[in-house]
């Protein structure tokens, strides 16, 4: 019997993440909810949640040595999955108001902007226009996923050309008033704006795809 992949859900104060732990366990991962940097470095996959304000999440992430852990994992090609604000922090910054602005991790260029829509927040189930060659969405390309957010990345700014075109990030899109980035798959780094752990069977299938890739 094979050993299940070890996944750490990074516990840096971003909100209730028990649903993520339960979902990952359901799809076959051995899960630890912890802020321990060593455990986060050594696990097979790191799950970075995020709920609420971008700047508050960045403050908590820095206090838990999250930027160093994420950077070291990616430099070694070790998988990381960011979800909701855990995706947004991977960009340069956010236009979300805050008394203490915090820059993002700048793994990808671009800023998180307020959605231009008649009703904000975007809360509910939406279709995703899945990027070509996606492994994350394999088998659930036509499904809906659950979103809860007021801010998103409205423009993808990283364009791979020349010799790098074959390994360009796979970007998937959704729409609420305007198109926005719903997910990115970029080598060991993946992220979703929606909550797979709250997206029913489709979300579980997507998480299983990620866990199996570990």
- The DSSP line for 21-53 is HHHHHHTT-EEEEE--HHHHHHSSEEEE---S-
Contact 194, 147 (CB under 8 A): yes
Mind telling me the catalytic residues?
A: 84, 195, 197
The dihedral region occupied by 85, where left means phi > 0, alpha psi between -120 and 50, and beta the remainder, is alpha
The DSSP bridge pattern shows strands 6-10 and 30-34 to be parallel
CA pair distance 17, 8, nearest whole angstrom: 12
- The DSSP line for 127-153 is E-BPPTT-STTTT-TT-EEEEEESEEE
């Amino acid at each position: 019997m094979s050993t299940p992949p070890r996944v750490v859900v990074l516990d840096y104060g971003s909100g209730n993440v028990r649903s993520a732990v339960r979902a990952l366990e359901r799809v076959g991962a051995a899960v630890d909810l912890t802020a321990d940097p060593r455990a986060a470095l050594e696990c097979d996959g790191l799950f970075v949640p995020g709920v609420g304000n971008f700047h508050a999440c960045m403050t908590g992430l820095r206090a838990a040595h999250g930027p160093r852990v994420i950077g070291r994992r990616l430099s070694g090609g070790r998988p990381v999955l960011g979800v909701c604000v855990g995706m947004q922090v991977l960009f340069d910054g956010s236009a979300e108001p805050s008394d203490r602005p915090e820059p993002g991790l700048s793994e990808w260029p671009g800023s998180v902007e307020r959605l231009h829509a008649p009703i904000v927040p975007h809360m509910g189930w939406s279709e995703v226009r899945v990027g070509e060659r996606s492994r994350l969405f394999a088998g659930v390309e036509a499904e809906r996923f659950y979103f809860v957010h007021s801010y998103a990345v409205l423009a993808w700014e990283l364009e791979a050309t020349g010799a790098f075109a074959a390994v360009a990030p796979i970007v998937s899109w959704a729409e609420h008033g305007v198109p926005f980035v719903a997910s990115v798959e970029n080598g060991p780094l993946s992220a979703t704006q929606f909550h797979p752990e709250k997206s029913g069977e489709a979300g579980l299938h997507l998480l299983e795809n990620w866990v199996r890739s570990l």
